[in-house]
Structure 1
């Protein structure tokens, strides 16, 4: 469809839109409704226990004031993705159990040395410690497996959010489908950016219809709590979400007779309700990681598996403290009096993205004094 007149479709009452003044968050936070998106419901699975407790405290306050709601569509999307969060956690712990430690090989020439005897004792102690560590890992994995659907986050939601799911019986799917086509034709948010999806293309629009219906029914301003920073929800600067699309703000104003619509992240909501700096920082970190994972680049990144060799080679390679080094393959050869192990190693940043790859050569002379030399080559990210 032609876009020649699409602005008339988007801004149906420009006079009212021109003079509309948006209330600030501070002005409406004590009386408005808070609506939770699916990604916000999933976020606590990647935070710590202290953050979950603080989220529970604030949600409980809002529920007691009858100001917290979850769209049915957001609940469906949460239920559809919750298992991924739990399996990711299980894999994170499970992968630690496969880490190996290289011990010094026995050598007759060293057998009479006091230092070597002490080293052997330390190795024995280390083996016992690693055995206990792996046993605890297995116990932790079993506990996670036994959660079923009663993990700490789900239990908190059962306790606090029971009865807060909106009833969407008023939704006419044919009307929503027609509206989605109209928005796609005229590039009207939300939803038109999801046109390439194979499924759930109307997910954002269904949530939007539920928000509009709720606001009209209760005659209230709304803060939509979401980590979705797609460009059909936000105006952006340098890829950072700045504020909600004015088309959304104006449509909300028109549908609700002058009410205000804001979008905030969970960390921002925690901040305005005076959560501790530690909790806000923890949730912000989880939001940043989730945002990176949702980028097209991150989705195309292959999952990498290997042994953690960070402690062995981080100093040699000069990698940041929060980066991980994974050995993905190795070869061995003896040539010209050298015993050489060659390792392919990938460097992952704190978000799990590969930022560099290395080939490490660990060579030891086969005759006394058994000198050792470790060198490496660094490759571009794609090799």
Structure 2
């Protein structure tokens, strides 16, 4: 039995590590394979809608061209860390809920005779109504997040689109 150093196996010619010359990105970008790691899969949980649509379109194009690779290890890391990202989303929603406050919690009787102060009180009442509606909506969002990622569009995109097209880098012995 021989002990083979994995690095010696992967990089048989150590000199080539420093002397290798690679083609320019412009030269290979239209036909190279694109491997996605777990951090890239998790990033959309922190992005706004615009980059999300761009990412989805890019994944669709790369998958359609047969160039999208999601290594099995990246899928496992994604699954391991997904709940933490969902927890961060839930915390953000809860923080947004906790920031809601009465815009005019304290009112001054002395100012109530001023017409503009009466207008301010009326507007504050309208704001409170909108805040109650906002809190109701945010509670539903939090409930959806708690009940499962399938309620979140990109979560569905990742689970259905990407992971179904998983191109495993595992050895045949590791496949289920």
Aligned position for 1:168: 170
Q: TM-score, normalised by structure 2?
A: 0.75
Aligned position for 1:48: 48
- Hey, what's the Cα distance between the residues in 1 that align with 2:14 and 2:67? 31
Tell whether the 8 Å contact from 2:45 to 2:85 is kept in structure 1 after alignment: yes
Tell whether the 8 Å contact from 1:103 to 1:123 is kept in structure 2 after alignment: no
Q: Deviations over 1:85-144 (max 9, x none)?
A: 22222221222222334534434xx16x632x5314422431331232232232133134
Unaligned runs of 5+ in 2: 1-7
- Hey, what's the Cα distance between the residues in 1 that align with 2:90 and 2:18? 52
Are positions 1:106 and 2:104 aligned together?
no
The structure with the larger Rg is 1
Report how many residues are paired: 161
- 1:15 CA drift (Å): 4.6
Q: Deviations over 1:316-350 (max 9, x none)?
A: xxxxxxxxxxxxxxxxxxxxxxxxxxxxxxxxxxx
- 1:37 CA drift (Å): 0.6
**Equivalent position SS for 2:35:** strand
Q: Deviations over 1:138-187 (max 9, x none)?
A: 21331342251211112112343222241524477xxxxxxxxxxxxxxx
Q: TM-score, normalised by structure 1?
A: 0.37
Aligned position for 1:143: 141
Tell whether the 8 Å contact from 2:33 to 2:69 is kept in structure 1 after alignment: yes
Aligned position for 2:129: 131
How has the CA–CA distance of structure 1 residues 143 and 103 changed in structure 2, closer, same or farther, with 3 Å as cutoff?
closer
Tell whether the 8 Å contact from 1:62 to 1:68 is kept in structure 2 after alignment: yes
- Hey, what's the Cα distance between the residues in 1 that align with 2:137 and 2:42? 25
The structure with more strand, counted as a fraction of residues: 1
- Hey, what's the Cα distance between the residues in 2 that align with 1:106 and 1:50? 45
How has the CA–CA distance of structure 1 residues 11 and 98 changed in structure 2, closer, same or farther, with 3 Å as cutoff?
closer
Unaligned runs of 5+ in 1: 1-8, 173-383
- Hey, what's the Cα distance between the residues in 2 that align with 1:137 and 1:89? 16
Q: Which runs of structure 2 are paired with 1:301-312 in the superposition (5 Å)?
A: none
How has the CA–CA distance of structure 1 residues 125 and 40 changed in structure 2, closer, same or farther, with 3 Å as cutoff?
same
- Hey, what's the Cα distance between the residues in 2 that align with 1:90 and 1:36? 25
Aligned position for 1:39: 39
Q: Deviations over 1:232-291 (max 9, x none)?
A: xxxxxxxxxxxxxxxxxxxxxxxxxxxxxxxxxxxxxxxxxxxxxxxxxxxxxxxxxxxx
Q: Which runs of structure 2 are paired with 1:9-158 in the superposition (5 Å)?
A: 13-99=13-99, 100=101, 101=103, 103-107=105-109, 110=110, 114-115=113-114, 117-146=115-144, 148-150=148-150, 151-158=152-159
How has the CA–CA distance of structure 1 residues 16 and 96 changed in structure 2, closer, same or farther, with 3 Å as cutoff?
closer
- 1:41 CA drift (Å): 0.4
